[in-house]
Chain A
Amino acid sequence: MSTPTELSEASAPGARTGHRKQSSTTPKPRRVRRLSQRDKVVLGFMVGIPTLVQLAFVWIPTLLSVFLSFTRWNGLALSDIRMAGLANYSYVVNDSPAFWPAVQHNILWLVFLAVIATPLGLLLAVLLDQQIRGSKIYQSIFFVPVMLSLALIGIIWQLFYQKDNGLLNFLLGTAGTPQAVDWFGDPHINIWAALVAATWRHAGYVMILYLAGLKGVDASLKEAASLDGANARQTFFRIVFPAMAPINIVIVVITIIESLRAFDVVWVINKGTNGLELISALVITYLIGEGQSIGIGSAFAVILLVISLVPITIYLSRTFRKEKF
């Protein structure tokens, strides 16, 4: 079974090395001066339209988020915008009741995905990479949640987690008794319940990426290691895993970014309140909330932006380091 992610994410590093090999042996691509006048117009059109779309609807709004975070605005007329300095940030950090819980939950989300979901996906990939019977069937089963939207995953798990009629409480024998747990409702438990649901999807995603990565590892490396007397564990951790460095970087970045983007599941459950606060959900709460405090919502957005720039920068610098020419 092959998958979308396999192609899109995993073939990128492969294609890149191919390119590098190529560019050392073949002449560089055409230079601009070889382009005719007409070609320059065509090039301007081919670059201009996508760039304009990208600037107008991604990067300018991002910069406007930064600007709005220093203002006070109710979201009505543009003339109502007042400069507010750092007041929004001061409110967010000192007075907003939901901010620190949200930060904790985002960190917890990252740690849970990094310590449980991602290694689980890697383990599944390693086991399924052996030519065992039914490997394709197992892969299909673990991959199904990756095809589902996180919103739908929230609803499916709601049916599973319900207090009185959910399967989990039946299996625990607590359904209908006072000990029955409201998995998505109890503010001390619901973040863990949501993380299990998120793991259901993330592990399959990681498994697919690593399956592609493992296929790309040269089999002779493994043979050489076992001839030298390395056991399976040593071969994997000392040879195979380091050989998958490009995929490892992609997985690290995906894990961090997924934990920052986490939104749909908690919004479906209870709009990110009552134990499920996340920074991303707070942005939207302040945008559509009664107060329409655009400035405060934007301050949350900027905090989210600054945190996400860390993995984005790491990824981009690793990916494009060799490309400068």
Chain B
Amino acid sequence: MSTSTQTAPAKTSTRVGHGRIRPHYGTHIFLMVMAVMWMVPLGWALFTALRPKADTDRYGYFSLGGAFNFDNFIQAWEQGGFPRYFMNSLIITVPTIILVLLFSSMMAFAVSRVSWKFNITLLIMFTAGNLLPPQVLATPLFEMFKLIQLPYWFSDSGSLLNTYMSVIIANTAFQVGFCTFVLSNYMKALSPDLTEAALVDGAGLWRQYVSIIMPLCRPAIAALATLELIFIYNDYFWPLLFIQSGDRLPVTTAINNLQGTFLSNYNLLAAGATITVIPTLIIYLALQRHFVAGLTLGSSKG
């Protein structure tokens, strides 16, 4: 490990001499070993998924024999009911993100751009709420949703249980705190002069929020939307608690059932697991620039 972390390795070696090279060499070996270990679990799942069951039965799972193809993926996709589950994930994720960002941006604006009596108290309450383990409030929330009476045209359970709505509500309430905290910090870092000028022009709070602050928060909103997309797609707990019908589960909760569906057919199970990884990787690769933009913009303000 070199102290002059800012200099490029090549430069370091010519300037400081061979004494600095050895630590880098060790660093590379360590990182390579760690990286290989890090890739093994997913690599093993992918490797298993690409091999037909007949071949692994014949040659064993720990072998290279036999064919490699995507048959397991096709079979898992059809037998596992993935189209249905992905649709459910979409139905739950999109409204949640919209609600979370709407509520948290309004709240963040109110606590960071307007000074009033309880703004810090409320911000603390919002931040604390997001830090609680969800199991702390799971039981009463479950009972509350069970007691809320709904017409049968709206919910076949007659209550909020077993509806997409229940998961959307719980996720929204839980994520609003976090986004409010992040956005309020972001909005605080914006110059007060911005809304000062608008105030002189006679613009009301809503105008300030919609036409001045929100457009400036676009990078933070984009980054949070991406983040929440992954958070809510990955949420396992709330659907597990509220949704009983298997055909309404989102992907992340439904994969647990695949272990029963694909009964000791590990090739199919591995293919199913790999299929659920794909959307996260696509989201990450496609929206990576939003993270970068949000970060650089946020840090240059600070």
Residues of A within 8 A of B (CB): 1-8, 11-12, 14-19, 22, 26-32, 34-36, 38-39, 42-43, 45-47, 49-51, 53-54, 56-62, 64-65, 68, 75, 78, 124, 126-134, 137-138, 141-142, 144-145, 147-152, 155-160, 162, 165, 167, 170, 175, 197, 200, 204, 212, 216, 219, 222, 225-226, 230-233, 235, 253, 257, 260-261, 263-264, 267-268, 279-280, 283-284, 287, 294, 297-298, 301-302, 304-305, 308, 311-312, 315-316, 319-320, 323-324
Contact A160 B41, CB 8 Å, known A43-B116, A65-B137, A152-B273: yes
Among candidates A59, A60, A230, residue contacting B125 with C-beta atoms closer than 8 Å: A59
Are B38 and A42 in touch, CB under 8 angstroms? no
Residue numbers in A under 8 Å from B141 (CB-CB): 57, 61
Chain B binding surface, main DSSP class? helix
Encoded as 1 (CB less than 8 Å from any A CB) or 0, chain B from 273 to 302 comes to: 100110011001000100110110011011
Contact A144 B125, CB 8 Å, known A50-B107, A261-B133, A312-B132: no
Are B133 and A145 in touch, CB under 8 angstroms? no
Among candidates B104, B204, B223, B298, residue contacting A50 with C-beta atoms closer than 8 Å: B104
Residue numbers in B under 8 Å from A46 (CB-CB): 106-107, 109-110, 205, 209
If A57-B174, A260-B133 are given as contacts, then 17 extra A-B residue pairs at C-beta distance below 8 Å, sorted by A number, are: A15-B301, A30-B199, A43-B110, A46-B109, A64-B143, A148-B277, A150-B236, A151-B234, A152-B273, A152-B277, A156-B41, A159-B266, A160-B41, A162-B266, A263-B135, A280-B133, A312-B128
CA distance A167 to B42 in the complex (A): 11
CA distance A175 to B236 in the complex (A): 32
Residue numbers in B under 8 Å from A267 (CB-CB): 236, 240, 256
B186 at the interface (CB under 8 A from A): yes
Among candidates A22, A145, A197, A301, residue contacting B139 with C-beta atoms closer than 8 Å: A301
Encoded as 1 (CB less than 8 Å from any A CB) or 0, chain B from 136 to 163 comes to: 1111111110010000000000000000
Contact A47 B205, CB 8 Å, known A131-B9, A219-B6, A287-B139: no
A137 to B, closest residue via Cβ: B35
Residue numbers in A under 8 Å from B5 (CB-CB): 129-131, 222
Contact A159 B173, CB 8 Å, known A51-B122, A65-B140, A267-B240: no
Query: 14 A-B residue contacts at CB 8 Å?
Result: A7-B294, A11-B298, A22-B191, A51-B107, A56-B173, A57-B137, A65-B136, A130-B9, A130-B24, A151-B236, A261-B135, A279-B135, A301-B135, A304-B135
